[in-house]
Amino acid sequence: MTSVEKRDVLVVGAGFGGLYSLHLLRESGFHVSAVERGSGVGGTWYWNRYPGARCDVESLQYSYSFDDDLQQEWEWTERYAGQPEILRYAEHVAERFDLADLIDFDTNVESMSYDSTTQKWTVSTNQRTYEAAFVVAATGCLSTANLPEFPGLETFEGDVYHTGRWPHEQVDFTGQRVGIIGTGSSAVQAIPVIASEAAELTVFQRTPNYSIPAHNQPLEPAVQAEVKSRYDELRQAARAERSGILSIFPPNEDSAREASDTEFRARMDERWDYGGFSFYRSYIDIVVDPESNERVADYVRGHITAKVDDPELATLLSPTNTIACKRPCLDTHYYETFNSSHVQLIDISDHEIETITPHGLRVRGEEFTFDALVFATGFDAMTGSLLKMNITGVADYTLNEAWANGPRTYLGLGIPSFPNLFTVTGPGSPSVLTNMIMAIEQHVEWIRDCLVSMRDNGYAAIEAKPDAADAWVSHVNSIADQTLYPSCNSWYLGANIPGKTRVFMPLIGFPDYAERCEEVASNNYEGFTLV
């Protein structure tokens, strides 16, 4: 009989959430380890190695704050770190805090079930079985790649890539005819870089996206030193921001709709020239007031028209939907790339890809020939990785049954009928609408405090109450409904996956959320049942 590995806590995933969970829980005296399906740490930064992959949050902010020596000593080289640098950072953290020995790599959870009698989880993986009092699912929000079922895909004789599952070996597109499907954040980053190598690049666009220039650049040592000299103060200020991200521009209460033309132009130009997500903080009502939203959208369309030489192409690349209701993109020379004669855009807004063929693909009856196909078709966001684990809670109730009508969590941390299972940045928490590492730290610290409190008070099990979860899901959606976020087919709503129930999954507003989590803890874990 194969032996069962026993743990106090089993963490699933060794990305930034998993690494910090291991560190904090071991420090607090728990027997903890992690399983990770990859062969190394880094989570999203381990898998997303596509050309041009880079973080859209500035590196001095997209980093852990929990250890001052770590944040003082690590030197970032660019305003926005590229994937290789972020992966090195994750590896450095694992080494510095001696975490690698706690991680079982190449280990994929196949199923897990809760035994109400023993109050323990049994977790079956492709390698071994674990029994743990608690499971911390640090499985990431964008970690299950979405590869739509294109007919004929298996017949393609060239190379096939998905941005979210990029090979570890260097991919060289030199001299190749490459087709890329999708124009979301991943494609917007990859297209200029692939175009710089490929002989021909054809982009299949179903919906155009708004993209703001990143203006990435080497990080000036003086800028880095200045931030590091005030790190605590800056991190604290970031946590008070709705997105958990600090901007050099102070917050304002101004309406884009009410601004005079001169004022509006000057402010938008300043943000455009600075680059990055500060653009969306130019006016407070961009994601609330349709007129303000349209004014800002029109400003971006003006830039697209100015950047793209061919007016018809500029129109095709110009979105008409609400700006920022899909996750905004940042780019480096995205629109300009379409001025190159070897790059062409195929609008498929009215035509699904009919079939993949042995030598390319067919759409609108037209055949395109490629050496390589790149799918930049995104992720089954926020719930995909959790649902894939075949989780069974109390009374044989499965997570797939529990979430048939969309994810139902309390605080994005606990799920009724699934005791002793915590989700890090789970649906119903601010997660993807914030700086993920900051959101991860807040969640992992809350989970650690909860487990220490349970141990101190002799509790063995914690479970979210159904009515608390129902009220929480209504709260998340009522906040989203006061904004324009739910107005387009975004992955925030699950709208990118055929058949997935549309529910707005992330919670808007980090500070109120963090305060609520603290209140819940100090009210003896109000909304949870402790036994």
Q: Could you say whether residue 281 binds ligand N01 (CB under 6 A)?
A: no
Span from 54-62, 69-77, 125-133, 289-297 in contact with ligand N01 (CB under 6 A): 54-62
Q: How far is the CB of 151 from ligand N01 (least distance, A)?
A: 11
* Size of the chain in residues: 531
- C-alpha distance across the termini of the chain, in Å: 32
Dihedral, CA atoms, 392, 449, 473, 139, nearest 10 degrees?
-50
How far CA 102 is from CA of 14, 110, 306, in Å, comes to: 10, 20, 53
Judged by CB under 6 A, the residue of 187, 259, 300, 438 near ligand N01 is 187
From residue 468 to residue 487, the character string flagging contacts with ligand N01 as x (rule: CB under 6 A) and all else as - is: --------------------
Nearer to ligand N01, 154 or 233 (CB): 154
Judged by CB under 6 A, the residue of 56, 241, 347, 380 near ligand N01 is 56
290-329 residues near ligand N01, rule: CB under 6 A: 327
The tokens for 322 are 């609400």
Closest CA to 158 of 134, 179, 138: 179
378-407 residues near ligand N01, rule: CB under 6 A: 378-379
Q: What is the 3-state secondary structure (H, E, C) of 257-270?
A: CCCCHHHHHHHHHH
DSSP-derived secondary structure for 422-464: EETT-TTSSGGGS-HHHHHHHHHHHHHHHHHHHHHHT---EEE
Q: Residues 326, 484: contact at Cβ < 8 Å? A: no
The tokens for 394 are 């109390």
Judged by CB under 6 A, the residue of 23, 26, 54, 120 near ligand N01 is 54
Q: Could you say whether residue 127 binds ligand N01 (CB under 6 A)?
A: no
Nearer to ligand N01, 37 or 54 (CB): 54
Q: Could you say whether residue 500 binds ligand N01 (CB under 6 A)?
A: no
The tokens for 263 are 């004022």
Judged by CB under 6 A, the residue of 325, 376, 415, 433 near ligand N01 is 376
Judged by CB under 6 A, the residue of 183, 216, 385, 431 near ligand N01 is 183
CA separation for the pair 377, 189 (Å, rounded): 13
The tokens for 530 are 């402790």
The amino acid sitting at 219 is L
Q: Could you say whether residue 353 binds ligand N01 (CB under 6 A)?
A: yes
Nearer to ligand N01, 31 or 215 (CB): 215
Dihedral, CA atoms, 347, 170, 212, 329, nearest 10 degrees?
70
The tokens for 51 are 């050309």
Nearer to ligand N01, 48 or 65 (CB): 48
Span from 179-187, 279-287, 394-402, 423-431 in contact with ligand N01 (CB under 6 A): 179-187
Judged by CB under 6 A, the residue of 206, 242, 359, 502 near ligand N01 is 206
Q: Could you say whether residue 244 binds ligand N01 (CB under 6 A)?
A: no
Which chain residues interact with ligand N01 by CB under 6 A? 54-56, 142, 148, 163, 181-187, 189, 206-207, 327, 353, 376-379, 432, 491, 496
